[in-house]
Amino acid sequence: MGVGKRFISVFLAYTKPQVWPHRNDFGSLQLRRRYGFEFTSTGEQRYQGLIELSGRRLQRIELEAHILPDSQNRMQ
């Protein structure tokens, strides 16, 4: 995972991912999918995140503003 991040639950477990058809840069039809998830940077507070894919290509990642632990308290 990324520095100081731990994924603690997946939004997909209780909601459907959003899926819709989309044309890529070459005009081919692909599915665009959006997945929500929760993550923690401290082990206590949960934050929301979003990943969007077009076909197998990553289009977007969004992370809610979150606390970055100091280097002495980072999770292993």
Model pLDDT, residue 15: 54
3-class DSSP state for residue 44? coil
Residue 25: Cβ-neighbour burial (10 angstroms; 0-12, 13-18, 19+):
exposed
The boundaries of the domain holding residue 12 are 6-68
Residue 64: inside a domain: yes
H or E stretch including 62?
strand 57-63
H or E stretch including 33?
strand 29-40
51 neighbors 60 (Cβ within 8 angstroms): yes
Residue 73: inside a domain: no
Q: How many domains does the chain have?
A: 1
Residue 1: inside a domain: no
Quote the distance between the C-alpha of residue 37 and its chain's center. 6
pLDDT tens string 30-73: 999 998 888 888 778 888 888 999 999 999 999 999 888 775 55
